[in-house]
Amino acid sequence: GNSVTQMEGPVTLSEEAFLTINCTYTATGYPSLFWYVQYPGEGLQLLLKATKADDKGSNKGFEATYRKETTSFHLEKGSVQVSDSAVYFCALSSSNTGNQFYFGTGTSLTVIP
């Protein structure tokens, strides 16, 4: 079956620190991979995506590379800001399962000045 495992939080970083949030997946077929972000009191926003192996998704300084050999899609940012404080969700979607989304448990990030 399909599933996503991401690192447990919460994560607390100082401003300008380097961020990595690990995400690994299990899937049948060739899934698309996503990172969604949820700011306090808001819905989920697509942060970035990758649809095939070796693709790199990037947005707002965040990056993640689709690694089929390690079944991973780790999120990175070189220098975090206070405004990046949010909950980050790794997710996959596959046409084999009706294109529904499977989410990880979410990782809460707090960036302190």
Partner 1 sequence: DTAVSQTPKYLVTQMGNDKSIKCEQNLGHDTMYWYKQDSKKFLKIMFSYNNKELIINETVPNRFSPKSPDKAHLNLHINSLELGDSAVYFCASRPRGRTEAFFGQGTRLTVV
**Contacts for 78 with CB less than 8 Å, ≥ 6 apart:** 18, 61
Residue 45 is a binding residue for partner 1 (CB under 8 A): yes
Q: How far is the CB of 79 from partner 1 (least distance, A)?
A: 26
Binds partner 1 (CB under 8 A): choice among 1, 29, 43, 113: 43
By DSSP bridging, strand 107-112 and strand 11-14 are parallel
Residues touching partner 1: how many (CB under 8 A)?
23
C-beta closer to partner 1: residue 15 or 60: 60
Copy the structure tokens of residue 86: 């949010």
Kindly indicate which of the ranges 17-25, 67-75, 76-84, 92-100 contains the residues binding partner 1, using the contact rule CB under 8 A: 92-100
Q: What is the rounded CA–CA span in Å between residue 58 and residue 9?
A: 22
**Contacts for 43 with CB less than 8 Å, ≥ 6 apart:** none
Binds partner 1 (CB under 8 A): choice among 21, 75, 89, 109: 89
Binds partner 1 (CB under 8 A): choice among 1, 29, 40, 42: 42
CA of 27: how far to CAs of 11, 19, 38, 52, 90, in Å?
Answer: 27, 26, 24, 13, 13
Site residues (vs partner 1, CB under 8 A): 32, 34, 36, 38, 42-46, 49, 51, 87, 89, 93, 98-103, 105-106, 108
